[in-house]
Chain A
Amino acid sequence: MSEPRARDAAPLILSVDVDPGRPIVLDRVSRWYGNVVAVNDISFALGAGITGLLGPNGAGKSTLLHLLAGLLRPSSGRVLISGRPAWHEPSIYREIGLVPEREAVHSFLTGRQFVDLAARLQRLPDPAAATERAIATVDLAAVADRAVGTYSKGMRQRVKIAAALVHEPGILLLDEPFNGMDPRQRLHMMDLLRSMAAAGRTILFSSHILEEVERLADGILVIYAGRLAAAGDYREIRRLMTDRPHTFRVRSSDDRRLASAFLTEPAVFGAELRDDRLAVQVSEFSGFTRIVARVARDAGVRLFEVAPTDDSLESVFEYLVTRR
């Protein structure tokens, strides 16, 4: 990843309430590997409900979840789970269910054996009953006696979720939980997470897909280059993401005439001809998409191509971090 200007910029924090009484608390947490900063001075506290941890690949989402799960020591700051430090404290695992993204599952175990192993290691009084409940919850009963090695990616994801749920934890941490799931499984899982949140659980899931977060989360944390770029209500952050300045690349039957026409529009603040193409700078993504066809028609110009040049999620995140 290139060194972003964001490193020294003040993050846009909509609301971060670091209440030490909440189930999850990060207090000025940083984590670095040698000279590389993976998580940079992040603070937030989460209570019951679903929070989406949004950011591009490599932003530090997994590092943050591993810090919360006590699998990494913070280089500075405190990570608290129900008031106890997450690091070097195995007792927190009674309250946490972790669904890792990359970590493998022993392929020779059946789904039922894998969930049963989790139930036994949680020292539940009736591991068999808890296993059946968790398997039914993720809708995996039909294939529970098949070896995990024969599962599809979506089924593996669900069996990992069943193992994480088996002790009915108050906190659920999920790293990219919808990867590999088909749309039906995705909807089922979203319903499941919603019902768990309604029962008072604290759920934090990571995703690099805005729509997933938008559909499920009550609040979101946006992380980019290890920094907390934004936190709060997803609607507000969504508005910031879509209403940011954009550059569009336009090809038409008469680029010069179209440039003049665009410059009379309030949503457009710049237009220049580059390499036989027209680059149009607009103040607002959605505003420009509404006027572009009308402006071209009124100017008598045929449009061949209209494409945003910086619509990668990464540029959206960078914008959020650099915006003051």
Chain B
Amino acid sequence: MNLLDIVLTIASVTARALLGRRRTILMLLFAGTPVLLGLLVRIGGTRSGALVPSLEGVIVSSVLPLVALVFGTAALGSELDDGTAVHILTKPIPRWAIVLPKLAVAGGLTAMLLVPATIITGVLVGGGGGRELGLTFAFAIAVLVGSFVYSAIFVALSAATSRGLVIGLGYSLLWEGLLSGALKGTQLFSVREYIRGMATSLAPSGALVSVVGAYGFVLAAVAIVVVAALAAWRLARYEIRAAE
């Protein structure tokens, strides 16, 4: 078995564990919320002015971090909590080979739900015009990359603490939701801004404004690598919770 087989084996078990019935239904409901809102806007009459608020305000700011939070913390944190991770941790494999598939599966599932949700919502709200479609697909690609950045952060958080879900929720609401939008300079450390930057660089010119612009791709890639490395470092020093 080479390391690629190991990564694929862990990815397959992680995917089966994450696709439990209750969690899948809940995540489908989350992902369906912006689509439902889009449908309501559509019924009320297509308005291109509502496109950016629907995609950025609802999907990028709220639904994406929440879905990534659930998948990201469940991929590793739940297994560390219930002890199933012990069967993987007590194997002679480098810790990055555990983190990587967890991150990939959590990010992949988040993207699988939210990229289609972004496209459907965009088409419902913005219609089929060239500029609107361009904007919609720009956000879809940015959400695709953003899914992996957020998932990496939440996988790393659950490697670092048993309260990954609560801390991750606080991070999403306070840092990404409030502070990074309000304070200048913090945007360089905001996933939401990276997503906006990526979308801006892909969208028709003048449709969006961003501080980081196309550097959003670079910053997102750096964030994934750095956070995944931190997660692997932390997992290598993971201590089982007090048993007695």
**A interface residues, Cβ below 8 angstroms from B:** 33, 38, 57-63, 66, 69-73, 88, 90-94, 96, 98, 100, 102-106, 108-109, 114, 117-118, 120-124, 127, 163
Q: How far is the CA of A88 from the CA of B9 in the complex (A)?
A: 23
Cβ proximity bits B86-99 to A, threshold 8 Å, 1 near / 0 not: 11111111110000
Binds A, one of B39-47, B58-66, B236-244: B236-244
Cβ proximity bits B1-33 to A, threshold 8 Å, 1 near / 0 not: 100011001100100110000000000000000
Of the A-B pairs whose beta carbons lie under 8 Å apart in the complex, a sample of 6, sorted by A's number, is A61-B244, A90-B236, A91-B92, A92-B92, A102-B83, A117-B87
Query: Do the beta carbons of B240 and A106 come within 8 Å of each other?
Result: no
Residue numbers in A under 8 Å from B89 (CB-CB) = 71
Q: How far is the CA of A3 from the CA of B238 in the complex (A)?
A: 30
Query: Do the beta carbons of A121 and B86 come within 8 Å of each other?
Result: no
- A100-B83, A105-B84, A127-B1 in contact; A72/B239 too (CB < 8 A)? yes
Q: How far is the CB of A186 from the nearest CB of chain B, in Å?
A: 23
Count residues of B near A (Cβ-Cβ below 8 Å). 29
**B interface residues, Cβ below 8 angstroms from A:** 1, 5-6, 9-10, 13, 16-17, 82-84, 86-95, 236-240, 242-244
- A106-B16, A121-B9 in contact; A88/B237 too (CB < 8 A)? yes
Q: How far is the CA of A121 from the CA of B101 in the complex (A)?
A: 13
Query: Do the beta carbons of A71 and B239 come within 8 Å of each other?
Result: yes
- The residue of chain B having its C-beta at the shortest distance from the C-beta of A102 within the complex is B83
Residue numbers in A under 8 Å from B242 (CB-CB) = 33, 38, 63
Residue numbers in B under 8 Å from A105 (CB-CB) = 84, 87
Residue numbers in B under 8 Å from A66 (CB-CB) = 240, 243
- The residue of chain B having its C-beta at the shortest distance from the C-beta of A98 within the complex is B90
Q: How far is the CA of A38 from the CA of B82 in the complex (A)?
A: 21
Query: Do the beta carbons of B92 and A123 come within 8 Å of each other?
Result: yes
- The residue of chain A having its C-beta at the shortest distance from the C-beta of B2 within the complex is A123
Query: Do the beta carbons of A122 and B244 come within 8 Å of each other?
Result: no
Q: How far is the CA of A62 from the CA of B243 in the complex (A)?
A: 6
Q: How far is the CA of A53 from the CA of B86 in the complex (A)?
A: 21
